[in-house]
Structure 1
Amino acid sequence: MLSKKRSKLFYLFVFPWIFGFLFLTAGPMLYSLYLSFTNSSGFGTPDWVGLDNYSRMFNQDPLFWKSLGNTFFYTALSVPLSLVTGYLLAVLLNTKVKFMGVFRTIFYLPSIVPTVATSLLWMLIFQPNFGIANAILDFFGLPTSLWLLSEQMVKPTLVIMSLWGIGGGMVIYLAGLQEVPKSLYEAADMDGASTWRKFFNITVPMTSPVIFFQLIMGLIGALQVFTQAYVVSSGSGGPNYQSLFFVFYLYQQGFRYFNQGYGSAMAWILFFLVLILTGFIFNSVGKKVYYESGD
């Protein structure tokens, strides 16, 4: 009798998640899969077109490849930089000095500011005529740049902007760093190990699960970059489509040009790209992650 009551209680508590997953996640995903084989515009009854959307994507749409290349370029730069800077910042903020809590708060706060607001702020910083970035370069006698208005610099500039939010990852790294057993450092000190040797032989291996988690999440997030590029280019993807990322182009197709069938096909291509890249990382980098035994 007691087990039946517990079972009912279990299903009662798990029901909101099941409902949300079926009707807010799995259902829309399956419907978008159906739409990817149609010419849906979001209005009226869509017509079945089979693989036409996918054929057009790979063979007739140069902006598809352009957006994909832009996204991979951004990901290849932003993910490693975010990992390294976030981790080193966490190591720095893991030391015991006065007012450390204040410093941690200061570095974390930018990560909770809305992306649109931070994008507008960075647009002012990188404004070619009166922005702070060019003012600093000019002060030191260095050549200035058009930044977000330059075809060559817009993607690197967006990468720099992405580093503004490393405080969120820093908190996760801090949690991992504080779980490293102090006895390991004490043993290393007795053996005369240097600071660098302790860092690479103790700190990094012991926090490798956290680094690996941040790598996976950073990769997925970078492949879905949208808001910053949309704001700084005023929804155009310029200059000359250099800031037209994959999800940005997907949004344009689905909600600006009302090609929701084509946009759904792009969404599924992105899904499989994320799946393949994540699987590759698990099978390569994942094997080098150190998991401490519970014994």
Structure 2
Amino acid sequence: MAIAQADTMTQTEKRKGSMAVLQDFRLWWLVIPAFLVFLVFFVIPTASLFGLAFNKSVAGVIALNSHITFDNFVRIFTRASYYESILRSIWISAIVGAACLFFGYPLAYVIAKTVKPSRATLLMILVLSSMQLDMVIRMYGLMVLLGDNGLINGFLLRVGAITTPLPLMYNVFGVIVGLVQITLPFMVLSLIGIIKAIHPSLEEAARSLGASRWHAFVTIVLPLSMPGILAGTLLVFALSISSYVVPALMGGWKVMVLPIHIYQQIAEVGRWQFGAAIAVVLFVTSIAAVAVYHQAAVRTSGGRT
């Protein structure tokens, strides 16, 4: 009797295991369409472009060949205009990330801590409304505000505060302002969920033990919101370092960053190989930022990956 029950239980477990494997296999079928789209429209074009980076730079030639050369990369790191653009792209993106964190964290904190649903919804609509306009339209709006004959300079000239227009555009300052305006909502959205997930009882416990509101924020809320800070900063950095429209419009082609060089080499000169090499450098820089983010996330989580 016991042997028969054991055999029955074994068969039941095998049947359950087979059904679980079949169910997992069916779930994998749901991933295939997304995987094919990712493979066809991202992996293959990106790999082809990166392959061009190791071919000799010839104007108007796009076809891959088997001759591998590193001349394009040597040219990038031996000419000041190119490696200075790498450094310029990095520090501009870092400043934009810091500025978005400075302006975005208080707003995200207010939205996350707002108890009244209608008020929180209104604040979220204000954050999301800026993302509904096209980037070019938003940049032209900033040009109306920051131009030599714009609203700011016009007002300051009218009241006699300045005698010549302030250089608010076609420089690094204008590019930073434009990038902050574009990427700030992404920082806010990255922070809201993390801050909202922090239980209020933690702050209340710190306050009950004598901590001030500021001390409770610095020691409780800020460390626990670090995952959102890191994720938002990484997202802003990636969007900023790869932006072409903002440096072109707000920098007036005077602030040379990596995306500007890529456009010039491919669209204007037709040297796809050299433009692809610059794209590889941009990609490696972004991957390095992801690696730094991963290390920072591991440290803030106590070594847990």
Tell me the TM-score normalised to structure 1 length.
0.84
Deviation at 1:215, TM superposition (A): 1.8
2:223 equivalent to 1:205: yes
- Coordinate RMSD, CA, aligned: 2.7
Report the counterpart of residue 209 of structure 2 in structure 1: 191
Report the counterpart of residue 84 of structure 1 in structure 2: 102
2 CA distance for matches of 1:100 and 1:4? 44
SS in 2 for 1:148: coil
Conserved in 1, the CA contact under 8 Å of 2:146 and 2:168? yes
2 CA distance for matches of 1:216 and 1:44? 33
SS in 2 for 1:84: helix
Q: What amino acid maps onto 1:156 in structure 2?
A: F
Conserved in 2, the CA contact under 8 Å of 1:253 and 1:260? yes
Larger Rg: 2
Deviation at 1:27, TM superposition (A): 1.5
- List alignment gaps of at least 5 residues for structure 1: none
SS in 2 for 1:178: helix
SS in 1 for 2:197: coil
2:297 equivalent to 1:286: yes
Deviations 1:40-98 (A, max 9, x none): 54546455361121122222x44313422331231232110111211111123333467
2:49 equivalent to 1:32: yes
* CA pair 15-125 structure 1, distance change in 2 beyond 3 A: same
1 CA distance for matches of 2:27 and 2:119? 45
Deviation at 1:11, TM superposition (A): 3.7
Moved more, 188-197 or 1-10: 1-10
2 CA distance for matches of 1:288 and 1:10? 34
Deviation at 1:278, TM superposition (A): 2.9
* CA pair 137-70 structure 1, distance change in 2 beyond 3 A: farther
Deviation at 1:171, TM superposition (A): 2.5
1:141-152 equivalent positions in 2, closer than 5 A? 141-143=160-162, 144-149=165-170
Report the counterpart of residue 121 of structure 1 in structure 2: 141
Report the counterpart of residue 67 of structure 1 in structure 2: 85
Deviation at 1:35, TM superposition (A): 0.7
Deviations 1:13-36 (A, max 9, x none): 111122123222222222122211
Deviations 1:161-180 (A, max 9, x none): 22223123212312111111
Deviation at 1:265, TM superposition (A): 0.9
Deviations 1:125-168 (A, max 9, x none): 11102x1121343466543413224xxxx111221222223123
2 CA distance for matches of 1:177 and 1:195? 16
1:88-99 equivalent positions in 2, closer than 5 A? 88-93=106-111, 94-96=113-115, 99=119
Conserved in 2, the CA contact under 8 Å of 1:75 and 1:219? yes
Q: What amino acid maps onto 1:252 in structure 2?
A: Q
* CA pair 210-5 structure 1, distance change in 2 beyond 3 A: same
SS in 1 for 2:222: helix
* CA pair 100-280 structure 1, distance change in 2 beyond 3 A: closer
* CA pair 134-35 structure 1, distance change in 2 beyond 3 A: same
SS in 2 for 1:225: coil
Report the counterpart of residue 50 of structure 1 in structure 2: 69
Deviation at 1:281, TM superposition (A): 4.0
Tell me the TM-score normalised to structure 2 length.
0.81
Decide which of 11, 36, 39 is 1:19's aligned counterpart: 36
2 CA distance for matches of 1:83 and 1:92? 14
* CA pair 207-12 structure 1, distance change in 2 beyond 3 A: same
Count the aligned residue pairs. Answer: 280
* CA pair 73-186 structure 1, distance change in 2 beyond 3 A: closer
